[in-house]
Amino acid sequence: MLLSQNINNYIAAFHQNAEAQANALLAGLGTKIFHRNGDYKTNEWAAETCAKGRAVFYSGGSSESRGMSDNQSWGSSWGGSSSTHDSSSTYNRERGGSRGFSREQSTNDGWSEQIDYQVQPELFTRLKSGGRQNRNEVQAVIFKSGTPFPPNGKPFTAVTFKQS
């Protein structure tokens, strides 16, 4: 069993071809447990260890346009008739008009499939590290070569430990 805070400690332990020797040593370990870490190189190495896979990215947007068209059309007519014989008259007056309003709305969405980390390097900076502020919970990502973890069958899984 080997234990270290970050990959740089292993590299520092070797004198010649230090990085290659550290990588060779770590490659031979079938089970790796990654806790919260602020070292970029270690977090990237952990993400590479969990491997890349297909990821679907969704995108979308919407737009709306409103317009008022003040197309006024007004008209009137006036007409009438009168009769002398019974002293009646009839007058008609008509008026009318119209205005228009228009509104358009469109939405779009799409997706793309890309190869990306299955576990993003920044995740390792957000794992809980125990103590009162985390309700004594410690989080980790466990990687075990050749072992499919349920429910997705990947060789890694997230776990939470309780401190005593």
Peptide bond into 150 cis (omega under 30): no
pLDDT tens digits for 88-144? 666 767 776 666 667 778 888 888 999 999 999 999 999 999 999 999 999 999 999
pLDDT tens digits for 27-62? 999 999 999 999 999 999 999 999 999 888 888 888
Rounded to whole angstroms, the Cα distance separating 34 from 143 reads 8
Q: What is the mean pLDDT of the chain?
A: 85
Alpha carbon distances (Å) from 80 to 87, 88, 92, 94:
14, 11, 6, 12
- Both tokens of 55, joined, read 């990821």
pLDDT tens digits for 131-159? 999 999 999 999 999 999 999 899 999 99
pTM of the complete model: 0.67
Of the CA atoms within 13 Å of residue 99, those in its CB half-sphere come to: 5
